[in-house]
Chain A
Amino acid sequence: QQKVQQSPESLIVPEGGMASLNCTSSDRNVDYFWWYRQHSGKSPKMLMSIFSNGEKEEGRFTVHLNKASLHTSLHIRDSQPSDSALYLCAGDTNTGKLTFGDGTVLTVKP
């Protein structure tokens, strides 16, 4: 059974700072990684996806993927208090099923 490990468990960054979140899968069949964001008391919403080696940028958010090590990272620059949330990483083996990690709780301090 695929396992997805996320680190750190929690992270505090100052407003305007850079947040870096990590995720690694133990399943070599993973082809896609998804990042979801879940604000407190809300449902998860897809933030970004990546399936090719390299980097993908959307606004203040950048995702990196190293397929050889099955490691992905999410970087948030110019962090805002509204970015405070649980960030979930999920691995996808192209079956329509996602395996989620336990997430990283990001707190952005004003």
Chain B
Amino acid sequence: EAAVTQSPRNKVAVTGGKVTLSCNQTNNHNNMYWYRQDTGHGLRLIHYSYGAGSTEKGDIPDGYKASRPSQENFSLILELATPSQTSVYFCASGDARGALAEQFFGPGTRLTVL
């Protein structure tokens, strides 16, 4: 089964601070994704990547940057964290499109910005 890991699993940050969330996948998937999930809601796409060196804006990219230095690693960066960015962040990986586009999710990172 697909293996996606995230670090840290929990993070408390201060307003205005810089936060980096990391994601690693061992399945050699081309596509990787960052979502946030607020209490009782679905997943909203922040940034995604089709391969090493590429990043694309998702539906809610404001206040976030992404970096894909290798096939395995995808980072989400909050340069100036704000309390509105308190959420649970999920990384996912997948390959291909269409009928083969199943995404495999990491365990999530709970971020609290005070």
Chain A residues proximal to chain B, CB less than 8 Å: 1, 4, 6, 31-32, 34, 42-46, 49, 51, 88, 92, 94-103, 105
Q: Tell whether, in the assembled complex, residue B90 and residue A44 are in contact, meaning their CB atoms are under 8 Å apart.
A: yes
Number of A-B contacts (CB under 8 A): 62
Cβ of B48: which chain A residues have Cβ within 8 Å of it?
96-97
Q: Tell whether, in the assembled complex, residue A43 and residue B108 are in contact, meaning their CB atoms are under 8 Å apart.
A: yes
- 12 A–B pairs (Cβ distance < 8 Å), ordered by A: A4-B42, A6-B42, A43-B105, A43-B106, A49-B102, A51-B98, A88-B43, A92-B101, A95-B97, A97-B45, A100-B42, A101-B42
Give the residue of A44, A45, A94, A96 whose beta carbon is less than 8 angstroms from that of B94: A96
Cβ of A99: which chain B residues have Cβ within 8 Å of it?
45, 59
Cβ of A49: which chain B residues have Cβ within 8 Å of it?
99, 102
0/1 interface trace, chain B 57-73, chain A, CB 8 Å (1 if under): 01100000000000000
Interface size on B, residues (CB 8 A): 27
Q: Tell whether, in the assembled complex, residue B105 and residue A98 are in contact, meaning their CB atoms are under 8 Å apart.
A: no
Cβ of A96: which chain B residues have Cβ within 8 Å of it?
31, 48, 50, 94, 96-97, 101
Q: Tell whether, in the assembled complex, residue A98 and residue B103 are in contact, meaning their CB atoms are under 8 Å apart.
A: yes
A30, chain B: closest CB distance, angstroms: 11
Cβ of B44: which chain A residues have Cβ within 8 Å of it?
100
Q: Tell whether, in the assembled complex, residue B99 and residue A97 are in contact, meaning their CB atoms are under 8 Å apart.
A: no
Q: Tell whether, in the assembled complex, residue A46 and residue B103 are in contact, meaning their CB atoms are under 8 Å apart.
A: yes
Contacts A32-B98, A98-B103 hold; do A43 and B42 have CB atoms under 8 A apart? no
